[in-house]
Chain A
Amino acid sequence: MRIARRDSAGTRATPIVIWVLGSLGAIFLILPLLGLIVRAPWGDLGERLTRPGVGDALRLSVLCATGSTILALLLGLPLAWLLARQSLPGKPLIRAIVVVPLLLPPIVSGIGLLAALGRRGLVGGALDNWFGLRLPFSTAGVIVAVSYVALPFVVVTLEGAFASVNRQMENAAATLGASPTVVTRTVTLPLILPSLVAGTVLAWARSMGEFGATVTFAGNLPGRTQTLPLATFLALETDLEQAILLSLLLLTPTVAMLVLARGRWRGMGAT
């Protein structure tokens, strides 16, 4: 880390091999995106974007990504705090389970969610019988499915942040008479803010692109559960150019969000 900083300050030249491989890495990432942009049907953009269902799918994607990010923060922040600050039995196992949604094929995650929260599921049966709550095939179901996949981004990013906060600063504030709430607001929160932004933005970006868990747990019905990735997948059946356009439409707000967060999500790599 310190060496890298000296490099960027120009005290030592970056080896040419770093330049070559690094540039290749960037090109590798840019080329497929460029391919999509080149193949996109720019000529009839207006007509294609106003086709039935496109607006609904975009609206539903933004709504569900936002809803699932809020849910992921609501559950993920406390979980990250517990993992970072409490002595828990089997912590390595819990940490491994936290990243399972990143490891599973999302379609399998969807099957798991059905087995847990479906009307014949472990918990879903009770939800249905006691509260008449059926998550599959509903918009709420999309939010649940997507937040399952997005949750690891919040927990992993924030656990690292909570762990790296200097406890002496919090203790000092407490010794000076600050209540736990005040300590959290004035000391802890500002220190973890970059990671909080990073986790939130990554969770939202992952949510926008979620396909497998959504389609398996919540199905596909325009206006209710058909998000932009689902609409894109179906467009592939009949109209490749429309599918490319929809995927670029999906990328635009997501990439904008990542750029606006000024690269703070890079912090995840350090945790």
Chain B
Amino acid sequence: MPIRSRAGGVVALAAITVLTGCGSSAAPDTSVPAATGTAASSSPAADASPTSSEALAGAMTVMAPGPLKAALDKAKAAFEAANPQVTVTMNYAHIPTLLSQLSEGVSADVLLTPDEGTMKMAQGKELTTGTPEPVATNVLALVVPADNPGKVTGVADLGKKALTIAVCAAELPCGKLTDALAKKADVTIEADSLEPGGSPGVVTKVATGEVDLGVVFAPDIKTGGDKVTAIPIDAAVVTTSQVLAVELGASTDPTLAQAFLDFLTTPEGAALFTGVGFGPL
């Protein structure tokens, strides 16, 4: 498993507080707000005596785009189960909406983005603190109606004018990745719609049978149920992006925020993402 960068084999959730204190990349991030963070969690000796009695407590909010819901709902449940005194509230919305909320003063502790570009937007608005951590890989896939009326077999079909084709709008993370795919596969996509609803929007259109072929993030294909079929893209041309997680500057409890981030990067956390169709890191 390629997920050994952070936790170094330590999977016991009780040890998360230790990582918060002495994890290599966590140390500089939490140095500034450490005072408030420690006060809030009332565990001043967290780094000195790492025992399970240093239980995390409090409430935190995680912001993420809708397509991450399947994985993050499980992450919330697992994190709360391991830390009974912690309540995690999930705020799922479109990234620009989340960033606007943060700019207008809405409080949250952790943000996840589907790619590097949207994370840069958050960083550009100075809403984040510390270095974003990769937690999973977003992989593109083709999606067709279950009976595949366009007889689609691969990426080359994206250039067929006779097919009704929908892809994500170019402004969206999946649209950017689709553009990269078109370049890599050297195909001009004959799109009939550049869906503002992104990857889930494309899946919905394919599920209605109005679209013969769509390009989406692979995990979203599940939302189409048995009305759609996924066609994996040839590994030689497939494009991917990293799902990133970061602590927010607005966080009122950096200790808790960091503990949640650390959990996401444990093998257990990563498995929640690969379990719903994301690629491994």
B197-226: CB near A (< 8 Å → 1, else 0) gives: 100010001001110000000000000000
Contact of A215 among B96, B172, B191, B197 (CB under 8 A): B197
The answer to whether A118 and B96 have CB atoms under 8 Å apart is: no
Which residue of chain A has the shortest Cβ distance to B172 in the bound complex?
A237
The answer to whether B196 and A136 have CB atoms under 8 Å apart is: no
Tell which of A58-66, A81-89, A170-178, A228-236 binds the partner.
Answer: A228-236
| Cα distance, A238 to B171, chains bound together (Å) | 7
Separation in Å of the B206 CB from the closest CB of chain A? 12
Q: Which residues of B contact A230 (CB under 8 A)?
A: 196
Residues of chain A from 100 to 114 with CB closer than 8 A to chain B in the complex: 111, 114
The answer to whether A220 and B195 have CB atoms under 8 Å apart is: yes
Q: A residues within 8 Å of B by Cβ? A: 111, 114-115, 118-120, 136-137, 215, 218-222, 225, 230, 233-238, 240
Sample of 8 further A-B pairs with CB below 8 A, known A120-B210, A220-B169: A136-B164, A137-B193, A215-B195, A219-B192, A221-B192, A233-B196, A236-B96, A237-B172
Count A-B contacts at CB 8 Å. 55
Q: Main SS of the interface on chain B? A: loop
A219-B166, A220-B169, A221-B191 known; A234-B210 Cβ under 8 A = no
Which residue of chain B has the shortest Cβ distance to A136 in the bound complex?
B210
| Cα distance, A195 to B67, chains bound together (Å) | 46
A-B CB contact pairs (8 Å), 28 listed:
A118-B208, A118-B209, A119-B209, A120-B208, A120-B209, A136-B210, A137-B164, A137-B193, A137-B210, A215-B196, A215-B197, A215-B201, A218-B193, A219-B166, A219-B192, A219-B193, A219-B195, A220-B193, A220-B196, A221-B191, A221-B192, A221-B194, A222-B194, A230-B196, A234-B196, A235-B171, A237-B172, A238-B171
Which residue of chain A has the shortest Cβ distance to B192 in the bound complex?
A137
Q: Which residues of B contact A119 (CB under 8 A)?
A: 209-210
Which residue of chain A has the shortest Cβ distance to B121 in the bound complex?
A238
The answer to whether B205 and A219 have CB atoms under 8 Å apart is: yes
